[in-house]
């Protein structure tokens, strides 16, 4: 006997997911011979391990369809159940989940290597330029792990290092001053989870978004920890963060080694760790390049320009006299 649960991204959509008078739910129960119930903001599935895996995958696929199309018909349920039965749908609770009704997946070879490293290793260090999906993919993996109950909490961390502007000139108390540094992590998280769900997770301490200094003295078990902008950590700060790992935890460290905002002469903790931890079992380092940029096409050309690469020759337009 096995049991698992799925976070309900939008509780208002639960009725549509289960169908009028639970017709979709009854169809899934009968087809896969599982017990399905809903309470505490989660859908609970119980039964034979293989059947639970198939039911969980079917519910995830149907929830994604509902988010994308706004409705769910009986034939949609029949199609997903048939695909699950034939093994055509990916394994239940695959590490890359659903964002805004669409599947989150690596879009370049480098990103695929990064995702594979996060699947296999307990400590992954990723260096690459802006726009390569370092933070986005790590947050997607963390959310998927939380939903599958592979971890109990997510901890998103950033160093509060100034990039040419003084922190002291920002208005408000300390929390107000550090919020701008943490906003990129919140933006990535809101791509995966609705705001009210994030708020509830934060109140329950299931998700933490905190400055690096707040990690000192802690040991976190069964947590997915992400250190973003890691190039702006010192060597001692990096050591402090990495040694917070407890039993059943996973760490992803990401940053751009070409954008270090530390004082002149201070060695970057990310650069040091990439060198110091090379070859250690359980640690995987991934290098992303400009070819992995998936933002606006102009971003790649900007990165090339700042890295000193030759400009790509643009085709000239011929104007005919008229």
- Distance, in Å, from the CA atom of 44 to the CA atom of 56, rounded to the nearest integer, reads 9
- The owner of tokens 């149907």 is 62
- Distance, in Å, from the CA atom of 131 to the CA atom of 288, rounded to the nearest integer, reads 10
Task: Give tens-digit pLDDT for 46-68.
Answer: 888 778 878 888 887 887 777 76
**Residues of the chain under the 70 pLDDT cut:** 1, 7-12, 68, 86-103, 161-179, 181, 295-297, 300, 309-322
For residue 248, the model assigns a pLDDT of 93
For residue 50, the model assigns a pLDDT of 76
For residue 290, the model assigns a pLDDT of 82
- Distance, in Å, from the CA atom of 82 to the CA atom of 57, rounded to the nearest integer, reads 12
DSSP E strand boundaries for 145-295: 153-158, 207-211, 223-227, 250-255, 283-287
For residue 237, the model assigns a pLDDT of 96
DSSP 230: G
For residue 164, the model assigns a pLDDT of 41
Q: Report how far Cα 248 is from the mean position of its chain's Cα atoms.
A: 18
Q: pTM of the entire structure?
A: 0.63
Q: What b/e sequence results for 4-25 when a residue is b if at least 16 CB atoms lie within 10 Å of its CB, and e otherwise? A: bbbbbbeeeebebbbbeeeebb
- Distance, in Å, from the CA atom of 61 to the CA atom of 80, rounded to the nearest integer, reads 7
Task: Give tens-digit pLDDT for 34-50.
Answer: 999 887 777 888 888 77
Q: What's the token pair of residue 248?
A: 């059943």
- Distance, in Å, from the CA atom of 159 to the CA atom of 157, rounded to the nearest integer, reads 7
Residue 176 Cα distances to 160, 212, 310, angstroms: 12, 16, 42
- Closest by CA to 210, choosing from 172, 181, 232, 253, is 181
For residue 230, the model assigns a pLDDT of 95
């Amino acid at each position: 006997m096995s049991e698992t649960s799925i976070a309900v991204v939008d509780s208002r959509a639960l009725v549509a997911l289960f169908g009028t008078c639970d017709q979709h739910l009854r169809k899934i129960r009968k087809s896969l011979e599982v017990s399905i119930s809903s309470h505490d903001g989660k859908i609970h599935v119980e039964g034979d391990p293989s059947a639970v895996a198939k039911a969980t995958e079917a519910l995830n696929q149907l929830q994604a369809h509902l988010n994308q199309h706004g409705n769910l018909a009986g034939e949609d349920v029949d199609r997903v159940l048939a695909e699950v039965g034939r093994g055509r749908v990916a394994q239940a609770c695959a590490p890359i989940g659903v964002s805004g009704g669409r599947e989150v997946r690596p879009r370049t070879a480098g990103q695929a290597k990064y995702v594979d490293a996060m699947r296999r290793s307990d400590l992954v260090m990723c260096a690459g330029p802006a726009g390569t999906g370092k933070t986005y993919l790590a947050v997607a993996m963390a959310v998927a792990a939380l939903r599958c109950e592979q971890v109990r909490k997510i901890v998103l961390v950033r160093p509060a290092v100034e990039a040419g502007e003084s922190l002291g000139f920002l208005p408000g108390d300390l929390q107000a001053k550090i919020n701008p540094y943490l906003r990129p992590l919140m933006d990535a998280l809101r791509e995966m989870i609705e705001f009210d769900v994030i708020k509830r997770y934060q109140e329950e301490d299931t998700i933490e978004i905190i400055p690096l200094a707040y990690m000192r003295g802690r040991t976190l078990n069964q947590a997915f920890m992400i250190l973003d902008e890691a190039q702006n950590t010192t060597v001692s700060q990096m050591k402090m963060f990495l040694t917070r790992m407890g039993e059943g935890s996973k760490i992803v460290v990401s940053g751009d080694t070409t954008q270090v905002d530390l004082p002149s002469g201070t060695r970057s903790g990310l650069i040091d760790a990439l060198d110091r931890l090379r070859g250690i079992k359980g640690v995987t380092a991934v290098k992303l390049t400009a070819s992995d940029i998936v933002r606006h096409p102009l971003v790649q050309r900007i990165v090339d320009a700042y890295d000193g690469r030759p400009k790509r020759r643009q085709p000239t337009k011929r104007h005919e006299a008229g």
